[in-house]
């Protein structure tokens, strides 16, 4: 497990100080680290919401001097077309973030459609155990919650294995801590999170 630090002058908020790297996203990070070797100076980045895809795009746009277009499906196609051409001329990458790549993402402008079809596509995978545990710890810390190791170990095999599932679990822990004004423990979290459907006891025998 490692972290990619943002540039010192990056306007980072509590959730934007680093990007956690694990086996689930290591190949994707390596792709961006070697952007100068891309045959086309553009990449379409997709992945689940809450997966840190926008953060990852901002990191490498800043590190490479390239451009980032987020929520590309809702962007102006002419502007995206010119950004793609500009990236090839400048030899600086264009990172295009979308929910799904073409042809799932329907593009009306033929020239843009052909250019994005020629661009590499990488996707952020759902978190593995190590990444889910690290995200729980990071999100809890950002909210001022003390998540003891035994609680993290309890949650990982029981929550929905997705970035949204991790976020929902931490949201529930935050609500629980505020309501009970007690230290978070496994028994306390078990009752509260099972009651709101955040954890599934049948997913683990532990």
| pLDDT at residue number 4 | 44
CB burial of residue 39 (10 Å; 0-12, 13-18, 19+): exposed
Q: Which CATH number applies to 2-123: 3.40.50.300, 1.20.810.10, 3.40.630.190, 3.40.630.30? A: 3.40.50.300
Helix-helix angle 77-90:110-117, to 10 degrees: 50
Residue 156: both structure tokens together: 């990982």
Global pTM exceeds 0.85:
no
pLDDT at 98 over 90: yes
Q: Give pLDDT, residue 18.
A: 63
For residues 22 and 35, the model is more confident at 35
Domain with CATH 3.40.50.300 in the chain: 2-123
Q: Which CATH architecture has domain 129-203?
A: Orthogonal Bundle (1.10)
Specify the higher pLDDT residue, 180 or 161. Answer: 161
Does 8 have pLDDT greater than 60? Answer: no
The predicted pLDDT at position 70 comes to 95
Percent of the chain with pLDDT over 70: 88
Which whole number is the average pLDDT over 167-172?
89
Name beta bridge partners: 122. Answer: 45
| Residue with tokens 């051409």, as numbered in its chain | 85
Burial 1-20 (b: 16+ CB within 10 A, else e): eeebebeeeeeeeeeeebbb
- For the chain, the residue count is 206
Tell me the two tokens of residue 78.
């002419």
């Amino acid at each position: 497990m490692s972290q990619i630090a943002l540039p010192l002058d990056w306007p980072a908020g509590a959730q934007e100080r680093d990007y956690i790297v694990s086996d689930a996203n290591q190949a994707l990070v390596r792709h961006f680290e070697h952007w100068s070797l891309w045959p086309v100076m553009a990449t379409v980045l997709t992945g689940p919401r809450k997966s840190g895809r926008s953060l990852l795009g901002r990191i490498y746009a800043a590190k490479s001097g390239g451009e980032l277009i987020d929520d590309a499906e809702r962007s102006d196609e002419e502007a995206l077309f010119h950004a793609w051409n500009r990236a090839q001329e400048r030899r600086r990458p264009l990172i295009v973030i979308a929910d799904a790549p073409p042809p799932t993402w329907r593009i009306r402008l033929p020239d843009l459609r052909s250019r994005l079809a020629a661009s590499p596509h990488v996707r952020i995978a759902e978190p593995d155990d190590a990444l889910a545990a690290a995200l729980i710890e990071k999100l809890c810390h950002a909210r001022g919650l003390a998540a003891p190791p035994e609680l993290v170990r309890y949650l990982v095999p029981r929550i929905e294995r997705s970035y949204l599932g991790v976020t929902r679990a931490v949201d529930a822990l935050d609500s629980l801590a505020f309501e009970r004004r007690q230290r978070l423990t496994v028994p306390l979290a078990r009752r509260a999170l099972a009651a709101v459907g955040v954890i599934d006891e049948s997913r683990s025998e532990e």
